[in-house]
Structure 1
């Protein structure tokens, strides 16, 4: 369950009665869209249905039966969210907007590059400032992923930017290969891997170009700076290697 401070109220009025439930705001939006995949008990603040959540008043069981044909809160809560309205305070809206702005900046930073600077990643501060300059407003009620394209359209007149992937080959010496390759795999799609006779590991990965600096830092950290990396500019090269 979540804390009351994190929850928003979803409210449904039907058959002359009012029903309120307390739920995580992002989960409420996912449930309303029909794409929630988690455990309901993890995203609610109370396994209960209220007539007035702020006072803790509960509706009559007869009203629950009339509207939902059950008194089970875990069956009723999703219905209240789907059919009702999500109530958020001004403070909650600001907090949601700020959190999603940070998520949006992180997503763009990890995936976007500067095509005028040899596809170098943009720092988060540059993306943040450019969004501010472009006057882009994050919608706290929409998933971050659905706002990325619109944000990029707003950013392009301000900074040179595009989404791009890179393919990187890396060779890890035998003494570091076991632990290092596990970390490196997390960066993206493993195109190819080979364990060499001397125990070293070679991997070829494709991942968002914005992660290049983080990739190099991870490789160096887990190989004590002894790994070798190579940027593969043409994936067709892989078939000849």
Structure 2
């Protein structure tokens, strides 16, 4: 018995990750294997056959509708399908399923909370908070909204500002430890930083000064030192995260 023929221009695919690109008022899609698109973009995967389920440009993968040559010509200026596939793969928007979106959101939330817990302490005890306590205050109490396409670092800084402002728990930024090397004793730099910049001096010798400052003060402190010593000392960061 002859096999059932699919309608011309239609290919059925299942369990795919889609990459979509809108160009020239048209939508184009390619069908990829799960988790392979990011590997390709990071350079981890270099074999295109391992990324694509089929080397074909679609207008709708779900319906199996392949892209007409006229549409590709109008949008891309040519009909070289290999080049079009690469453009879509490299610049298109990855369409995630609900499960993948939730997993990605959970990973992002975990990363944000870890960053916050590394950069903050209990303002009363000066001890770090656990990730669980940060999550309860930030997500449970303040309903902090995780934005999928925004970096974890930027969102962690936004979260810290919110936590410090609302004080659901007594929280503050952990102080940054810096080292200043040069003629620090001769220049009386420790006392100047303590008096003028609010630094806490931990150790001072004739050629080295270790102190802690508010992280937001690093640039002013660096500029202050450079102005005071005129190139005779150097400032370097020792620690920026909480030490257990």
Q: Give the structure 2 partner of residue 12 of structure 1.
A: 22
The answer as to whether partners of 1:121 and 1:209 remain within 8 angstroms in 2 is no
The answer as to whether partners of 1:18 and 1:59 remain within 8 angstroms in 2 is no
Task: Map residues 94-105 of structure 1 onto 2, 5 A cutoff.
Answer: 94-105=102-113
CA distance in 2, matches of 1:77, 1:8: 9
Offset of residue 136 of structure 1: 0.9
The answer as to whether partners of 2:119 and 2:240 remain within 8 angstroms in 1 is yes
The answer as to whether partners of 1:111 and 1:165 remain within 8 angstroms in 2 is no
Q: Equivalent of 1:154, from 162, 165, 168?
A: 162
| 1:53 corresponds to 2:75 | no
Q: Give the structure 1 partner of residue 136 of structure 2.
A: 129
Q: Equivalent of 2:149, from 130, 141, 165?
A: 141
Q: Equivalent of 1:78, from 70, 90, 108?
A: 90
Task: Map residues 211-222 of structure 1 onto 2, 5 A cutoff.
Answer: 212-213=243-244
Gaps of 5+ in 2: 1-13, 180-235
CA distance in 1, matches of 2:72, 2:44: 19
CA distance in 2, matches of 1:153, 1:67: 45
CA distance in 1, matches of 2:99, 2:42: 26
Q: Give the structure 1 partner of residue 240 of structure 2.
A: 208
Cα pair distance change 1:93/1:79, threshold 3 Å:
closer
Secondary structure of the corresponding residue to residue 60 of structure 2: coil
Q: Give the structure 2 partner of residue 39 of structure 1.
A: 43
The answer as to whether partners of 1:19 and 1:80 remain within 8 angstroms in 2 is no
The answer as to whether partners of 1:112 and 1:208 remain within 8 angstroms in 2 is no
What whole-Å deviation, never above 9, does each CA across 1:96-136 have from its counterpart, x for those lacking one?
22121111011112222223223x22211111111121121
Task: Map residues 83-122 of structure 1 onto 2, 5 A cutoff.
Answer: 87-118=95-126, 120-122=127-129
Offset of residue 9 of structure 1: 4.0
Please report the RMSD computed on the Cα atoms of aligned residues, expressed in angstroms. 3.8
Offset of residue 40 of structure 1: 8.8
Question: So what's the TM-score if we normalise by structure 2?
Answer: 0.51
Offset of residue 66 of structure 1: 2.5
The answer as to whether partners of 2:122 and 2:128 remain within 8 angstroms in 1 is yes
Matched length: 160
Structure 1 ranges of 4+ moved more than 6 A: none
Secondary structure of the corresponding residue to residue 159 of structure 2: helix
- Based on CA coordinates, which of the two structures has the bigger radius of gyration? 2
Secondary structure of the corresponding residue to residue 22 of structure 2: strand
CA distance in 2, matches of 1:116, 1:54: 57
Q: Give the structure 2 partner of residue 228 of structure 1.
A: none
Cα pair distance change 1:90/1:101, threshold 3 Å:
same
Gaps of 5+ in 1: 29-36, 169-203, 214-241
